[in-house]
């Protein structure tokens, strides 16, 4: 059985689009080094100016 981790112990990054921090998710486990955006919405907008 895998060892449990606290949410605060997970790695985090800053979104390239909105600039907000986001934490590691299990679905990104294989591709964490290439993840740049916190959500699909940020991925679609890719740094457009927010009003």
Count of CA atoms in the C-beta half-sphere (13 A) of 43 = 7
**pLDDT for the residue numbered 35:** 94
Token code pair at residue 49: 């100016």
User: Residue 15 in 3-state DSSP?
Assistant: coil
Give the separation between CA 22 and CA 37, rounded to whole angstroms: 9
Q: How do residues 1-51 score in pLDDT, each as one tens digit?
A: 667 778 778 899 999 999 999 999 999 989 999 999 999 999 998 756 555
The reported pTM is 0.70
**Using CA of residue 24, residue 22, residue 42, residue 37, what is the dihedral sign?**
negative
Give the separation between CA 2 and CA 41, rounded to whole angstroms: 32
**pLDDT for the residue numbered 48:** 66
**pLDDT for the residue numbered 47:** 57
**pLDDT for the residue numbered 5:** 75
């Amino acid at each position: 059985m895998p060892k449990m981790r606290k949410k605060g112990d997970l790695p985090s990054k800053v979104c390239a689009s909105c600039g907000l921090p986001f934490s590691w998710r299990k679905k990104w486990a294989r591709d964490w080094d290439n993840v740049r955006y916190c959500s699909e919405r940020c991925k679609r907008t890719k740094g457009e100016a927010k009003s």
